[in-house]
Structure 1
Amino acid sequence: MTVRGSGRGAATLRPAGQTTYSAERGSFANQVGQSVADMVVTIPGVSFVAGNGPRDVVVSVRGSGDRQSYGLKNLQVLEDGFPVTQPDGTARSDLIDPHAYEGVDVFQGPASTVYGNYAINGAINFRTRTGADIHGLELGSDFGSFGMFNQYVTLGFGGRSYDLTVFGSDVRGNGFIANSRYATSTENMRLRVNLTERDRLILKFVNNVTDAFLPLRLSLAQFRLNPYQQGCAIAADAAAGCATVNLLVNGRYGATVARTPQQAGLGRFDRRTIVGLRWEHDFDSRTTWRNQFTYDQRHIDQPTSVASYVGPYNSYNASSDVTNHARLGATSLTTFGGISFDYLDFGSQVYNVTPAGGATRGGLNGTSYGHQWNLGARFQEDWQFAPQWHAVVGLGGTYSDLGAIQNLYSYSAAGQRVTGITANRFFFNLAPEAALIYAPDRDWTLHARVGTAYATPTTSNLFVTPQGNYGNNTHLRSETSVGVDLGADWHPFAGLDLQATGFYEFYRNELVSQSAGVNTVSSFTFNAPASQHRGVELGAEWTPLRHALPGGRIRLSYTYDNQIYTDYTEVMSGSGLSRAFDRGGRRIPGVIPNFLNARFLYDQPDGPLEGLGGYVEVTWRSDYWLDNANRLRAPGYALVNLELHYDPPKRLGWVHRLHGYVEVQNLANKTYVAGATNIADVLLADGTQAGAAMLATRTGSIYAGSPRAVFGGVRVHF
């Protein structure tokens, strides 16, 4: 365990022996940078799909969020060392504008020893730019297809005793799917002040407001007919393949009527505010003590389908840890220990959406009030027992308390009925780990690691039935995993760097979610008793002609991710029948088994064209299953992107302060699936399972990706 950049206030924990990949600003700063996807696309082991909104990208590490419809799940997410994941495991990427960041680090595989609950697939830390690096004022604009326009400003100053970065952006667009117009604004600030030679204060502030109209997720059949929902504004005149939602005419019970997203006024209006403060104290040159507190409020107003969700989620996170670098004879020993406590309280209401338009609320569908808190401790030793060898051992544990009550409202001509469901669940999980690192020379580093992790269900998981309606699902258990990583970093010769990791992870009670359709309130979550994740991650950067063409590079990342059920029997009901089906050996749906990114880059290092550069990028995703029976696939795709940019050299004087670029995405205008949630299988009247043709009509799954788009941008530094 080391502390990265504590003098600058980052203080990001990097667990020794854990597979870690990073992306620096140079890989995403010269392009449009619409979302977090632009930051992580070059990182092995990381994939992404479209979530619910313009920047709500579902980022996955080794498939962590491939089975989710929004946010970053089964990960602990941090920014400059401050937590962005709330105590219920929810993190969203809406608040991330890539223009504000210096880089991102991804710690892959089981990581609960250090990062606690929900770090079952790893952790991600986003690093904002420092004031010293910015050293002035930057103004920028991005603009392009579908009415996208982003205005942003960055202010930064720094010295020995302080460092200040302030960032703000406002981005708007019409979207490329009907009813996907959006506006989102973000403010981000970090201030470091050195109080004394041994004491530092770091203040962090993030605020995001997202106002977005939202289309409905499609069935595969609808996607094939009308991926961008053209001609679908009015249900009565809707063209083939249009998605509609059935809304209660009186907002409470009885007859329903079909309405398009435009007619219903479906969308999201969300606000997220994070304020954090950290005090770092050096007892001496070898020992640092950190104390940190973060307040995080997420307030949602989401009429996304037949129901509208409203409510605040307030969370509080406090932690204290000590890192000591000591000598043990002729060897070095790094000791890390810490405790943490986080608490979430919430009170949310769900209303039926009426056909009146403008997301008008009808009767109260349900209310949910409750809390979740996690109390954790962690300890790790990193012993460099020989010049070329490190050994790491650690142990972390968390006690979690989930308590909530849900009131369900049903209506009829006779009146209103209220049913209450109470959940009081307690979990205790431990996560030991061990790693061995061998670096025989500067060109080789080998690592082996056995890690463990856990993730408790959330209160929202406990109240949705297999039919996608509110009800009792309070029996869920924690999911746990044990994973083995074997990896190597190799620098065989000048101009070539390689990273490779193989992983094999064993899961118990894995939490898997699936959609029951657009006319339901939410996705259903269940435990799969046993499953396995195994795969390979490869990363490479190569300058093939270092002397003849020094500005030319090839950057490659590839991941193979094979995830299967090894013990899971699914019980399906319908038409008065109930049948059990063994899913052992089936692929876990939603997980993309192969994904590759290849960039061919060139930057002119000198001469009259110095500063001119660009790249050609190929992104490939293979097809993947959408259901537990493995009968319906989401089709794979390959995209080609182009980018050209110009950074004038210093010899041109004030012109050096300008930067400009142009980018073409999806050059071949490919129609593709950008995001697909899992769907439930169907039991037919004869007791058999429905085939692919029927499953292709199951709604609530697919968002199309962007057709060909052209963007440009300018930035000036003062």
Structure 2
Amino acid sequence: MNTSFESSRPLGSLVLGCVFLGAFPAHAQPLQARPRKTASVASSAHQNVESILVRGTTRGSARLHPTDETTYSAERTDFAHRAAQSVADMVATLPGVTVLQGNGPRDSVVSVRGSGARQSYGLKNLQVTEDGFPMTQPDGTARADLIDPHAYEGVDVFQGPASTLYGNYAINGAINFRTRNGADIHGLELGSDFGSFGLFNNYITIGAGNKRYDFMLFGSDVRSNGFIANSQYNTSTENMRLRVNLTSSDRLILKFVNNVTDTSLPLRLSLNQFRSNPYQNGCANAASAAAGCASVNLLVNGAYGARQTMSPQQAGLGRFDRRSIVGLRWEHDFDPGTTWHTQFTYDQRHTDQPTSTTAFVGPFNSYNVQTDLTNRSRIGKTPLTSFVSASFDYMDYGYQVYNLTPQGGATRGALNSTSYGHQWNISLRFQEDWQFSPLWHAVIGLGGTQSDVGAVQTLYNRSASSTSLQNITANRRFFNLAPEASLVYTPTKDWTLHSRVGTAYATPGYSSFFVTPQGTYGNNTQLKSETSLGFDLGAEWHPSPSINIQATGFYEFYRNELVSQSAGVNTPAGSYTFNAPASEHRGIELGATWQPLHASLPGARLKLSYTYDNQIYTKYTETLSNSTMARNFSRKGNLIPGVMPHFLDARVLYDQPDGWLQGLGGFAEVTWRSSFYLDNANILKAPSYALLNLEVHYDPPERLGWAHRLHSYFEVQNVTNQVYAAGATDISDTLLSTGQQAGRRVLANKTGSIYAGSPRAFFGGVRIKF
């Protein structure tokens, strides 16, 4: 169901007809200018029943959303009045979406219905786009480093199994980021954020546009000392979009994104280390380190033999990554009812990551071609929109893994392993979107993808007397189909009911084939594609302009779910992936906005999002081993680790609409995350937490003349100074010498899991427009 959870319009508005085609995937359809207007469409059979939310464009092409899919959107007003350091600040108010800390300052692990909660970095099991251009590479990798919220107008999150339209890796849905429009900027904006831990973010935005073109250029430079030892960083981002109307029926859109991330990186802690020393103070020197410090054991000669214990600072752990994306799209209208889009995107990701005992180095070059055709017609008097699309993406890569030496500065030693290979996906999909009566709306579709992964890994086994090489080959092909069907029913103007059956798939990425359960590089090529079948049933109620409520229940059945776990800090690869034969995800999402005093205090609002997410193994037997034996343990009925069962965000907001204080506003926010298991045996939990954030801002009204161009804010995060786990990856269980599973005491000392969240922090910012 296409709904947007924001206060500026009804949640329950039904997206109908030719304008809002469920068939348009976000990655094929760039969401550009979207001025909002609401309209009522009357029919002879039922007057004023459909409440149609029109998200249109003045750019000559319809920017469309899935009609049938549960969708939440955050607009610029939700995050523009705060520090907005990462994508976490953009999606904080969206039901079903949680964020964990990844490996770096802006490497947020965005999870939709628990999709990426078991990963240590990036956006997994999601297709990510920006202005309709793909930000997910063919191996399913997308990272949030390149996202500076100041550049964006909003973000749309499409939830549930969605491979019918979005293809491979849309196992839990898709996300589309929308940059600002040049015509809305209409000039030059300069801004600066500053605050605790030496944070400075200086940014510039240039925009211009008219009926013939629209141009937006953004650039920022962010630096901070970080609140954890060895977490200082500097990252720069450039983002550009140009749209040109060549003729009344032809448009070109050029897109460019570039990001350079240079960050030191602390190590993830065990639960006991986190409780003892969450911010890793006094850890700079491993020989005299305080309690609770994490360290790495590096090969003295960089090849074999004796090891030396080093702190992250002494070893020089960090990341230096670059991401460059350029895309070009041609849009052509054959006639008012038929539109053709074709686009090409080149995406290069270059990594240099000395993050543990090894350094991971290499380029990843991706190429993506997409084309689609949309026809808007009628069956009798009822509108029908038909969509067909084809896409091909290809990635070639070559990376090297070097042992780190104790010389400091992330000095590389001997080669540990190399891997060279490719992955491509070719997809076909179609969808029929039919408004077959004034009250009913139906969507059916089918998508399929052929994927090919070919790679060779070479392992270097070194000793004092010799060096031997071991080659591991992965040549795998996968074919997956994803049908879907949905119904939307609008019995009155206040109610919308929707039901959906969706399917999805995700093939193993190249990297998962070459990491063993021991966290070493080796053979793991038996992995299968994961698939899911999901059911959504939801309702939306908006009895008055001041109340908007949306609730969706979901039940999803997974086969061969790909689950990742940490093998510990002092392992070359750190995390490994396995298939859980059968699992189930079920839960409830709730979003609501309310203006309790609509007449007497129109500037006051309450905003709530809550998600219950229950995920269990229904068929999975895990094998644990030690030096003398191996035993099998059934995990049937256990909660899948890494997934928060409950998470809630509640805000009380106020913006003065008139008078001498017009433009003054702020909010108080409470965020609560429940505890969740970290291991398959359900023995160890990451602790729950609740945070309080406060913000105040001032946007002077136009009557104040030049002062109207100046925006300012001040924010206090984590007011009560709570110590909490902002990121916690899953850990593997352990088999004791007695043949029993290790208990909580042993697991609480397993490293490689937890990053602490920020202590109390103060931020401010100014922005001026010319």
TM-score bracket for this pair, using the shorter chain length: over 0.9
Question: 1:7, CA displacement in angstroms?
Answer: 4.8
Q: How does 1:674-693 map to 2 (within 5 A)?
A: 674-693=726-745
Corresponding residue number in structure 2 for 1:227: 278
CA distance in 2, matches of 1:305, 1:169: 29
Residue 394 of structure 2: aligned partner: 343
Q: Does 1:309 align with 2:374?
A: no
Match of 1:666 in 2: 718
Match of 1:554 among 602, 606, 615: 606
Task: Kindly indicate whether the alpha-carbon contact (under 8 Å) linking 1:614 and 1:644 is maintained by their aligned counterparts in 2.
Answer: yes
What is the RMSD computed on CA atoms of the aligned residues? 0.9
> How far 1:670 moved relative to its partner?
0.2
Give the equivalent residue in structure 2 for 1:432.
483
Matches of 2:403 and 2:344, distance apart in 1: 38
| Maintained 8 Å contact 2:59/2:211 | no
Q: CA deviation at 1:688?
A: 0.7
Aligned with residue 564 of structure 1, among 609, 616, 628: 616
The aligned counterpart of 1:631 is 683
Q: Return the offset for 1:547.
A: 1.0
> Which residue of 344, 357, 363 corresponds with 1:293?
344
**Paired position in structure 1 for 2:750:** 698
Partner Cα separation in structure 2 for residue 411 and residue 383 of structure 1 = 64
1:137 has 2:188 as partner: yes
Are 1:239 and 2:281 matched, yes or no?
no
Contact 1:454–1:480 under 8 Å retained in 2: yes
Q: Which residue is equivalent to 2:240?
A: 189
Q: Could you tell me which of 643, 646, 659 is aligned with 1:607?
A: 659
Alignment partner, residue 766 of structure 2: 714
The residue aligned with 2:310 is 259
Q: 1:221-620 counterparts in 2 under 5 A?
A: 221-522=272-573, 523-620=575-672
Give how far 1:10 is off.
Answer: 8.5
Query: How far off its partner does 1:9 sit?
Result: 8.1
Correspondence for 1:208 among 232, 254, 259? 259
Give SS of 2:190's match: strand
**Alignment-derived partner of residue 218 in structure 1:** 269
Q: Measure the CA separation in 2 of the matches of 1:10 and 1:461.
A: 40
Gaps of 5+ in 1: none
Query: How far apart, CA to CA, are the structure 1 residues paired with 2:309 and 2:137?
Result: 36
**Count of residue pairs brought into register by the alignment:** 718
Residue 266 of structure 1 aligns with an amino acid whose one-letter code is L
TM-score, L = length of structure 2: 0.93
* In structure 2, distance between residues paired with 1:343 and 1:413: 41
- Partner SS, residue 652 of structure 1: helix
CA distance in 1, matches of 2:368, 2:500: 29
Moved beyond 4 Å, runs of 4+ = 2-7, 9-13
Aligned letter for 2:274? F
Q: Distance in 2 between matches of 1:96 and 1:11?
A: 25
Deviation for aligned residue 1:11: 6.3
Give 1:456 shift.
Answer: 0.1
Q: Deviations over 1:426-478 (max 9, x none)?
A: 00000000000112233221110000000000110000000000000000000
AA in 2 matched with 1:672? Y
Note if contact 1:9-1:80 (Cα within 8 Å) is conserved in structure 2: no
Alpha-carbon distance between aligned partners in 1 of 2:63 and 2:601, rounded to the nearest angstrom: 37
Percent sequence identity over aligned pairs? 72
Q: Secondary structure at the match of 1:14?
A: coil
Equivalent position SS for 2:266: coil
Q: Is the 8 A contact 2:192 2:202 kept in 1?
A: yes
Q: What does the per-residue CA deviation read over 1:17-44, in whole Å, with 9 as the maximum and x for residues that have no partner? A: 1101110000000000100000000000
2:128 aligned residue (32, 54, 77): 77
- What secondary structure sits across from 1:222 in the alignment? helix
TM normalised by structure 1 equals 0.99
Structure 1 Cα separation of the partners of residues 60 and 760 of structure 2: 41
The question of whether the paired residues in 2 share the 8 Å contact of 1:115 and 1:123 is answered with yes
Q: For the residues of structure 1 that align with 2:206 and 2:492, how far apart are their CA atoms?
A: 42
| Deviation of 1:521 (Å) | 2.0
In 2, the alpha carbon distance for the partners of 1:478 and 1:269 equals: 31
SS in structure 1 of the partner of residue 435 of structure 2:
strand
Partner of 2:699: 647
- Cα deviation for residue 676 of structure 1 reads 0.5
1:14, CA displacement in angstroms? 1.8
Cα distance per residue 1:665-707 (max 9 Å; x no partner): 0000000000001000000111110111110000000000000
- Provide the rounded CA distance (Å) in 2 between the counterparts of 1:397 and 1:44: 29
Matched, 1:174 2:225: yes
Unaligned runs of 5+ in 2: 1-20, 25-30, 32-55
Confirm or deny: 8 A CA contact 1:648 1:659 kept in the other structure.
yes
User: Take 1:9 and 1:694, find their aligned partners in 2: how far apart are those partners?
Assistant: 62
Amino acid at match of 1:646: Y
The C-alpha deviation readout for 1:224-244, integer Å capped at 9, x for no partner, is: 000000010000110000100
Q: CA deviation at 1:492?
A: 1.7
Q: Distance in 2 between matches of 1:654 and 1:489?
A: 43
